[in-house]
Structure 1
Amino acid sequence: MDSAVLALVFRAGPVFCALALDEVVETMRPLATRPLAGTPPYVLGLTIMRGAPAPVIDMTRLLTGIDGMVERYVAVEAGRGLIACATGPVLGVQDVRVAPPDGPAALFTGVSTSLIAAVGTIGAEPLLLLRSIRAVPDEVWEAAGQAPEDPP
């Protein structure tokens, strides 16, 4: 049975994606970003958001492995601080119909397993409903000046 989620929909290269609206802090034009050596290829570097350093994640590279055009930053809370998700165009807030997690989302492996909550559609195109973005390695948080998370 499909369900609906109120979500912010955006493009990540050739892929439509969505984040549950309650995970989104704000959207903005891309900010000045400084590269950070020794990070995974999907980490574009650091920017300053709301007065604090924040890692910038290239959502196209993270999800598809290819370079994409960055048009917007979507700020999300990631436990240790804000993360800027570098995306293509933001298409707005929509009710997104998604299949249960044991449906098509179960086909994804690797990093996608921890990121993809469900698969839905937007028109005739597939859409990935993403989980909270927590794909930032500890080294990046440490470079951004954030202390490690306390164990649960």
Structure 2
Amino acid sequence: MMIARGRRCALPVGHVVETLRPLPVSPLEGLPAYVSGVSVVRGAPTPVVDLGALLGGPPAPPTRWVIVRATATRALALAVDAVVGLVPAADLGPAAALPPLLASAAAEVVAEVTRRDDALLFVLEAARLVPEGAWAAVDAARAEEARP
């Protein structure tokens, strides 16, 4: 479980690779505002998603990154305020419909809303955290970096 601008969020543990301190980020043109840019993580250009901004919160510097395996071949860094720990599925309440006040971008990445300790918990869909158009910009950055 992680905290982003006061919102509790979670991913299935199989998608989480590691957590680390934020690294330098290079902005890229044409990305949604919640995609901060690209950073080199373990030698690979990796998109950085500001989870708090994606969920509609105000801009704020993150304190941790969660490296997420979005697909078999793609990873991303989620910029968050804190990483709280693992939450067993048995500790979660029943899933509910997504609140209508969430921004449209957030509605695409939240798989379900549940609760833990009487607080909402947004369960994220890892494969949708970076829009396909942003992956194209990241792929171009990778190609540029690979040039001699």
With the length of structure 2 as denominator, give the TM-score of the two structures: 0.80
Report the equivalent of 2:48.
Answer: 56
5+ long unaligned stretches in structure 2: 143-148
Q: Give the helix-richer structure, 1 or 2.
A: 2
* Residues in 2 aligned to 1:139 and 1:72: alpha-carbon distance in whole angstroms: 25
Contact 1:12/1:68 (<8 A) preserved: no
Q: Cα distance, 1:65 vs. partner?
A: 4.3
AA aligned to 1:87 is V
Cα distance change on mapping 1:59 and 1:133 into 2, 3 Å: farther
Contact 1:27/1:72 (<8 A) preserved: yes
Contact 1:98/1:118 (<8 A) preserved: no
Cα distance change on mapping 1:109 and 1:59 into 2, 3 Å: closer
Q: Cα distance, 1:68 vs. partner?
A: 3.1
Report the equivalent of 1:81.
Answer: 74
Report the equivalent of 1:33.
Answer: 25
* Residues in 1 aligned to 2:131 and 2:124: alpha-carbon distance in whole angstroms: 18
Report the equivalent of 2:110.
Answer: 116
Q: Cα distance, 1:92 vs. partner?
A: 0.8
Report the equivalent of 2:94.
Answer: 99
AA aligned to 1:99 is P
5+ long unaligned stretches in structure 1: 1-8, 148-152
Contact 2:56/2:106 (<8 A) preserved: no
Q: Give the strand-richer structure, 1 or 2.
A: 1
Deviations 1:114-137 (A, max 9, x none): 211222223232111111242323
With the length of structure 1 as denominator, give the TM-score of the two structures: 0.78
